[in-house]
């Protein structure tokens, strides 16, 4: 449980996609999300889908596993499709469901929009499936580096993300411990009227907050004691490096986008 929290949705593997620099992946996915909205013909949708599925296959993650990760959003995709089926009134009436006429325009639009949804969700989830949150944190720090010029605390933000990721499992255990300790003193979290149960949150939260702040203080003191001076002149445990495969994938991506614009109507 706590283990799955640190790595998030990450599935370890040694595929080409896994080994790409996280910055390459973030940039390409960001661009892909924008270009998905440019698709406007069946051919362009098919092209983007082929590309997205190609990447999904290249990750070497089992397809059922990827699809299972999409379960929370299946509802959204299907809901969007049905919405368009019922509401849009273009073209000819194809058939009727419970006296609701279904128009051909509705079917086409429904498919197009839910496909766009599907593409967006598939590609964005591929990032978090192949990259650990820590790698993404490093990449964000590096990508936002130019913002340091306007005195935006990029390094500090990345450090906060790492601290937060590190302490989520610890605080989870702490919460469990406190809730058990309070239950043994007779606090009832599970039964009784709603009012009582909302009140039962208080003896859980006060110790949790105090302990979280205490930990923050200890950590800050440890940092001060070791002479923490902010990001200036700090070296890194994990260095990011752009390699040949990153440049190669940027070229491929560029070609995909050019073809996309040729396929547009």
Partner 1 sequence: MKLRAIDITLSGMFAALMAIGANITSFIVIGGVPITLTTFFCILAGLLLGSRLGSIAMIVYALIGLAGAPVFSKFSGGLSVIVSPTFGFILSYIIVAYVVGKIVEWKPSKRNFILAALIGFVINYVFGTNWMYFSYKYLAASDAISYSVAWSWMILPLPKDIILSILAGVLAPRLYKNINRNMIVLKDKSIA
For the segment 66-105, give every residue that binds partner 1 (CB under 8 A). 69-70, 72-73, 76, 80, 83-84, 86-87
Q: Which residues pair with 93 in a beta bridge?
A: 103
Burial 93-118 (b: 16+ CB within 10 A, else e): eeeeeeeeebbeebbebbebbbbbbb
Is there binding between residue 113 and partner 1 (CB under 8 A)?
yes
| Nearer of residues 156 and 243 to partner 1, judged by Cβ | 156
Q: Give the CA angle between residues 49, 50, 55 to the nearest 5°.
A: 95
Q: Rule CB under 8 A: which of 233-252 touch partner 1?
A: none
Site for partner 1 in 11-30 (CB under 8 A): 29
- For residue 231, the SS3 value is strand
**What's the distance, CA 80 to chain centroid?**
21
Instruction: For residue 229, list its beta bridge partners.
Output: 231
Nearer to partner 1, 105 or 259 (CB): 105
Contacts of 181 (CB under 8 A, 6+ apart): none
Residues 133-172 that bind partner 1 (CB under 8 A): 133, 136-137, 140, 151-153, 156-157, 159-165, 167-168, 170-172
Q: Is residue 48 a contact partner of residue 119, using CB atoms and an 8 Å limit?
A: yes
Task: Name the minimum Å distance from CB 152 to partner 1.
Answer: 7
Binding of partner 1 by 131 (CB under 8 A) = yes
Residues touching partner 1: how many (CB under 8 A)? 80
Binding to partner 1 in span 166-225, by CB under 8 A = 167-168, 170-172, 175-176, 179, 189-190, 194, 197-198, 200-202, 204-206, 208-210, 212-217, 219-221, 223-224
């Amino acid at each position: 449980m706590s283990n799955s929290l640190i790595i998030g949705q990450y599935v370890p593997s040694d595929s080409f996609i896994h080994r790409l620099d996280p910055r390459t992946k973030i940039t390409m996915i960001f661009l892909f999300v924008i270009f998905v909205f440019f698709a406007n013909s069946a051919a362009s949708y098919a092209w983007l889908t082929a590309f997205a599925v190609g990447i999904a296959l290249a990750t070497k993650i089992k397809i059922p596993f990827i699809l299972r990760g999409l379960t929370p959003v299946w509802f959204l995709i299907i809901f969007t499709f049905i919405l368009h089926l019922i509401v849009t009134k273009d073209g000819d009436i194809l058939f009727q469901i419970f006296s609701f006429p279904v128009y051909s325009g509705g079917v086409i639009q429904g498919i197009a929009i839910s496909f766009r949804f599907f593409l967006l969700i598939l590609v964005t989830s591929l990032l978090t499936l192949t990259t650990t949150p820590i790698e993404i944190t490093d990449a964000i720090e590096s990508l936002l580096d130019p913002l340091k010029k306007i005195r935006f605390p990029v390094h500090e933000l990345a450090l906060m993300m790492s601290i937060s990721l590190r302490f989520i499992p610890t605080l989870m255990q702490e919460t469990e411990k406190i809730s058990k300790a309070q239950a043994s003193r007779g606090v009832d979290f599970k039964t009784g009227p709603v009012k009582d149960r909302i009140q039962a949150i208080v003896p859980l939260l006060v110790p949790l907050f105090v302990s979280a702040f205490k930990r923050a203080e200890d950590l800050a003191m440890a940092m001060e004691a070791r002479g923490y001076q902010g990001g200036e002149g700090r070296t890194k445990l994990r260095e990011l490096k752009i390699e040949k495969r990153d440049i190669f994938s940027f070229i491929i991506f560029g070609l995909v986008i050019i073809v996309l614009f040729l396929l547009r109507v």
